[in-house]
């Protein structure tokens, strides 16, 4: 019993880190000699860095935010430098606004650079980005750079603070594919709700459920499979169904053909994790988990689309960007499956797997996802983050 209590406490604490990691969204547009942009920075990150919640009540009001605008602008401007054709440009930060992203409120900073000595149309831009580098080595700045009708994307951060862009060269199709593929891999690895949904479906894959005496009203019993290929084909059906489903809705949403409220999508994703985990405790869809994967994969696709909305899609390479992001998501999923399935198969016959991994893991997943569901559906903060 003590182990279960400790597990639940750890699971509760996990809510604190299970939200989307620290990102900012930097959009820069070059039109002739004019260079302007928009920078969306999470209020929770700024609060941690410079302190915005003056009264310490856990909520950042517009008054608190407005009173610190000069500090926010100075903090941001000191951590973003731009050079055009080798010449330093002066950054001016305009009046801030507030916008909502899938993971909370962001300040929106209008940007304008003055590059007096630059050519009429810069040929090369260099960026030096160090936002939150001193406090969060995992922070990333997601850049969308538009120049001469071409959109480029890049990831800025402590691992790659300086980047150079040749505005005269068009981004190749291969580069677009690789850029968006990398984002797909990264998103699935930091998307804890997507990972837990996948794991909830994979946990029972190395076994089969039976009922005593063939009576459907009797308790289900889980038995380990005798051959690896049995588990492999079950997992293949699940992953394929999930892939096909989220690819459909991701494409529809990214192309603007279908749009759903963010809170509804995020709440439905959390609900899908709860139901998938509970199905391991009281099987309803045994042998048809691929159906569950497909049905809820449609919902998860809208969640993936919100990431693409923040990144932006290059108008001249929509198909390649979508394909690259989808392939990246699949590579990320396959890496998780490749790490989990062989280990689960080796442990499947032991009591530890049956009770600690399958049963205990499903309980913890359901508990954590239920907290997410309450937070997202009712805009609560059950655990401070």
Q: What is the 3-state secondary structure (H, E, C) of 167-182?
A: CCCCCCHHHHHHHHHH
Both 259 and 365 in a single domain? yes
Q: 78 exposed, middle or buried (CB, 10 Å; 0-12, 13-18, 19+)?
A: exposed
The residue written with tokens 């856990």 in the block is 58
| 316 vs 74, residue with greater confidence | 74
Both 238 and 373 in a single domain? yes
Mean pLDDT value across residues 285-311: 87
Both 282 and 307 in a single domain? yes
Give start and end residues of each alpha helix (H) in the chain. 2-14, 43-50, 62-67, 69-77, 173-190, 192-202, 228-254, 262-281, 289-311, 318-347, 351, 361-378
- Residue 87 near residue 115 (C-beta atoms within 8 A): yes
pLDDT of 21 over the 80 cut: no
In a domain, 266, yes or no: yes
Q: What is the pLDDT of residue 222?
A: 83
Both 336 and 206 in a single domain? yes
In three-state secondary structure terms, 20 is: coil
End-to-end Cα, the chain, rounded Å: 28
What's the Cα-to-Cα distance from 160 to each of 127, 135, 139, 156, 191, rounded to whole Å? 10, 16, 11, 6, 22
Both 145 and 199 in a single domain? no
| Tokens representing residue 101 in the block | 């992203």
Both 203 and 346 in a single domain? yes
In three-state secondary structure terms, 11 is: helix
φ, ψ (nearest 5 deg) of residue 64: -65, -40
Give the domain range for residue 325: 183-212+220-378
In a domain, 263, yes or no: yes
Percent of the chain with pLDDT over 70: 88
| 153 vs 373, residue with greater confidence | 373
In a domain, 368, yes or no: yes
Mean pLDDT value across residues 294-312: 87
Query: Residue 42 and residue 25: Cα distance in Å, rounded?
Result: 9
pLDDT of 287 over the 80 cut: no
- Residue 23 near residue 382 (C-beta atoms within 8 A): no
| Tokens representing residue 261 in the block | 């409220």
Mean pLDDT value across residues 319-340: 92
Which pLDDT band, with edges at 50, 70 and 90, does 211 fall under? low
Long-range contacts made by residues 205-214, C-beta under 8 angstroms, separation at least 24? 205/231, 205/234, 205/235, 205/238, 205/289, 205/341, 205/344, 206/231, 206/341, 206/344, 206/345, 206/348, 206/353, 207/348, 207/358, 208/286, 209/283, 209/286, 209/287
Please give the tally of structural domains in the chain. Answer: 2
Q: Whats the size of the chain, residue-wise?
A: 385
- Residue 164 near residue 124 (C-beta atoms within 8 A): yes
Query: Residue 111 and residue 144: Cα distance in Å, rounded?
Result: 14
Query: Residue 218 and residue 211: Cα distance in Å, rounded?
Result: 6
Strand partners, 157: 160
**Cα angle value 27/179/37 (rounded, 5°):** 5
pLDDT of 229 over the 90 cut: yes
Q: For 42-56, 152-166, 269-283, which range has the lowest pLDDT when averaged over its residues?
A: 152-166
In a domain, 8, yes or no: no
Percent of the chain with pLDDT over 90: 54
In a domain, 175, yes or no: no
Both 129 and 231 in a single domain? no
pLDDT tens by residue, 132-167: 999 988 888 988 888 877 778 788 888 889 999 988
In a domain, 367, yes or no: yes
Cβ count near 48 (within 10 Å)? 15
Both 56 and 189 in a single domain? no
In a domain, 108, yes or no: yes
Q: What is the pLDDT of residue 49?
A: 93
Both 200 and 134 in a single domain? no
Both 255 and 135 in a single domain? no
Both 129 and 241 in a single domain? no
Strands 23-31 and 140-147: parallel
User: Of 111, 137, 170, which marks where a domain is finished?
Assistant: 170
In a domain, 12, yes or no: no
Both 296 and 370 in a single domain? yes
Burial 50-67 (b: 16+ CB within 10 A, else e): eebeeeeeeebeeebbee
């Amino acid at each position: 019993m003590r182990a279960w209590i400790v597990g639940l406490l750890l699971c509760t604490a996990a809510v604190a880190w299970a939200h989307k990691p620290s990102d900012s969204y930097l959009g820069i547009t070059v039109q002739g000699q004019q260079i302007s942009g928009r920078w969306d920075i999470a209020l929770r990150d700024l609060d941690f860095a410079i302190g915005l919640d003056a009264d310490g009540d856990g909520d950042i009001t517009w008054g608190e935010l407005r009173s610190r605008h000069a500090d926010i602008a100075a903090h941001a401007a000191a951590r973003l430098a731009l050079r055009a054709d080798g010449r330093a440009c002066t950054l001016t930060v305009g009046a801030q606004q507030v916008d909502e992203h899938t993971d909370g409120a962001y300040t929106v900073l209008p940007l304008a650079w003055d590059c007096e000595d630059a050519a009429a149309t810069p040929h090369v831009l260099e960026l030096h980005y160090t936002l939150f580098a001193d406090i969060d080595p995992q922070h990333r700045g997601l850049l969308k750079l538009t120049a001469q009708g071409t959109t480029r994307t890049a990831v800025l951060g402590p691992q790659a603070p300086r980047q150079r862009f040749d505005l005269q060269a068009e981004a190749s199709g291969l580069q677009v594919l690789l850029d968006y593929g990398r984002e797909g891999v990264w998103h699935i690895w930091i998307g804890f709700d997507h990972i837990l949904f996948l794991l909830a479906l994979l946990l029972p894959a190395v076994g089969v459920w039976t009922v005593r005496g063939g009576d459907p009203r009797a308790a289900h019993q889980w038995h380990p499979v005798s051959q690896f290929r049995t588990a492999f084909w079950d997992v293949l059906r699940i992953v394929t169904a999930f892939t096909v489903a989220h690819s459909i809705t991701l494409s529809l949403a990214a192309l603007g053909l279908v749009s759903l409220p963010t809170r509804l999508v995020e709440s439905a994703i959390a609900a899908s994790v709860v139901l998938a985990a509970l199905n391991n405790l009281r099987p309803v869809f045994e042998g048809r988990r691929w159906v569950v994967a497909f049905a809820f994969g449609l919902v998860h696709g809208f969640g993936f689309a919100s990431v693409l909305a923040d990144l932006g899609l290059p108008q001249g390479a929509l198909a390649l960007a979508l394909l690259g992001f989808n392939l990246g998501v699949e590579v990320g999923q396959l890496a998780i499956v490749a790490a989990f399935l062989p280990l689960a198969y080796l442990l499947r016959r032991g009591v530890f797997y049956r009770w600690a991994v399958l049963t205990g893991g499903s309980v913890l997943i359901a508990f954590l996802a239920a907290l997410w569901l309450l937070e997202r559906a009712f805009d609560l903060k059950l655990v401070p983050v």
